[in-house]
Amino acid sequence: MRVMLMVLPTRTHVYSMAPVGWALAAAGHEVRFVGQRNPREVASFAETGLDAMWFGDELDLARHRRLQVDRNNARQGDFRISESRPERYTDEYVRNVYEHWVDVFRWTTPDSLLDELVVFARQWQPDLVVWDPVIYAAPIVAHALGVPHLRMIDAADQTARIGAQYRDRRASRPEDTSPDPFVTWMSAAVGRFGADYDETLRYGVRTIDCHPSYLRYDGVDVDYVPARFVPQDKPAAIPSWVLEQPERPRVMLALGSSDRQVPGIAETAAGDLLDGLAGLDIEVIATADASRLASVRAIPDNVRAVDPVPMNELLASCSAIVHQGDGATIGSAVVHGVPQLVIPDATWSERCSAVAQAKRGNGLLVDLGDVTPSRVRAGVCRLLEEPSFRECALEVRDEMLATPTLDDLVPELERMARCP
């Protein structure tokens, strides 16, 4: 069986999809990343050990983000897909977010890229396509060739959520006869290759979801295939101290850097976080690149500031983690049964996920605008001192470990691809 993997060319997206590629490759199938080349992320593909092929123009996402100064776009401004407050879900909000993201999907799917991909795919003849939720070139190519295709999500399913909200709002307003911009665009896209629109183009035939069930939305038209989350870090040497049993409770402070070049995307001041944890009888491991700590006047005595180390190994010795709410960090903390304090970014699903975790009981939430040293300190103290957070985190861990692995799913994927 030949399998095409198609992702947004950034490290987090590549690493999130690599485990399904490994499972299929281990079963003897030919697996290949296919898509645009991001000159800053070539190494990320190589680090997975899977083959990669580039098509279309280069896609330098970091440069694009630095140039993205117009606030009226999908990542900034008044209509963000990261919004999680139900009272903000007005008709105007839903329509604007939905239309913004159809524009994003169209932007990542230029005709020149599609033409090259279809020529290649007709020659290579893949049996299955697995795709990232924002790379709609994948279902278009698969549909053009009549090949089964699945999404694989790397966080809470925001595209399905906003799609369901848009559907429900239209159903409640029968006088609205305007065309669905997604259907209009995709009909034209697949029509160029002699195919007709099909609703599987939205979310795939099925969707592989490696995240805890409490992050899934009700009322979405998605057939989820639950799978166990596989932590994946950039290859790096593991310092010996990571494996030593800490003498005090160890708290990981994960200061992400993926959006540092994005104008208008706020972030928590590292100094506020460190000040909040100073003086506590804990060992704080602050993982960050130097730029995040450059403005910190003094590192507290109970803080070890280090370059990013493999999160999977470090979390095994941690009693809590403070982070910004991305899907990979949530998943890694879940498989280790570690309670989480989330100070969410406003990029994708971070706040929605933090709210869901707080409701489930294995974490707490402090909104970015509410961050003070005292709130951070109080949240971490609660996670460490109130047994319910650890107990719930262990329950969630056990639920995740009882979920089928991606290796377990290979026979089902083979059946979908009609592979002998």
Region 384-393 average pLDDT: 98
Residue 262 has pLDDT above 50, yes or no: no
Q: Which helix (DSSP H) or strand (DSSP E) does residue 253 occupy?
A: strand 250-254
With both helix axes pointing from N to C terminus, report the angle between 373-385 and 270-277 in degrees, rounded to the nearest 10.
50
Only one residue has tokens 């079963």, namely 27
Distances (CA, A) of 171 to 26, 91, 175: 46, 12, 9
| Cβ-based neighbours of 89, under 8 Å, separated by 6 or more | 83, 165
pLDDT of the residue at 265: 42
pLDDT of the residue at 60: 85
pLDDT of the residue at 257: 53
pTM value is 0.92
- CATH class of the domain comprising 240-401: alpha beta
- Domains 2-228+403-416 and 240-401 alike in fold: yes
pLDDT of the residue at 306: 87
Q: How many C-beta atoms lie closer than 10 Å to residue 58's C-beta?
A: 12
pLDDT digits (tens, 9 = 90+) for 48-91: 999 999 999 998 887 766 544 444 554 555 788 999 999 999 99
pLDDT of the residue at 47: 96
pLDDT digits (tens, 9 = 90+) for 91-112: 999 999 999 999 999 999 999 9
Region 271-287 average pLDDT: 92
pLDDT digits (tens, 9 = 90+) for 201-226: 999 999 999 999 999 999 999 999 99
CA distance 121 to 215: 34
Distances (CA, A) of 113 to 203, 219, 315: 20, 34, 40
Q: Confidence class of residue 345 from pLDDT cuts 50, 70 and 90? A: confident
The domain 2-228+403-416 belongs to what CATH superfamily? Answer: Glycogen Phosphorylase B; (3.40.50.2000)
pLDDT of the residue at 272: 84
Distances (CA, A) of 105 to 101, 109, 211, 235: 6, 6, 23, 31
pLDDT of the residue at 307: 82
| Cβ-based neighbours of 83, under 8 Å, separated by 6 or more | 89, 93, 97, 351
**Residue 223, phi then psi, degrees to nearest 5:** -95, 95
Pairing of strands 30-35, 303-306: unpaired
Distances (CA, A) of 365 to 97, 169, 244, 398: 24, 29, 29, 23
pLDDT digits (tens, 9 = 90+) for 291-326: 667 677 788 999 998 888 889 999 999 999 999 999
- Where is average pLDDT lowest: 177-191, 275-289, 331-345? 275-289
pLDDT digits (tens, 9 = 90+) for 147-199: 999 999 999 999 999 999 999 999 998 888 899 999 999 999 999 999 999 99
The DSSP bridge partners found for residue 250 are 283
Residue 379 has pLDDT above 50, yes or no: yes
Q: What type of residue is 147?
A: V
Any idea where the domains of the chain sit in the sequence?
2-228+403-416, 240-401
pLDDT of the residue at 259: 42
Give me the percent of the chain exceeding a pLDDT of 70. Answer: 91
pLDDT of the residue at 174: 87
pLDDT digits (tens, 9 = 90+) for 24-45: 999 999 999 999 999 999 999 9
Residue ranges of alpha helices (H) inside 324-416 are 327-335, 350-360, 373-385, 387-401, 406-416
Q: How many C-beta atoms lie closer than 10 Å to residue 167's C-beta?
A: 16
pLDDT of the residue at 264: 42
Give me the percent of the chain exceeding a pLDDT of 90. Answer: 78
pLDDT, averaged across the chain: 91
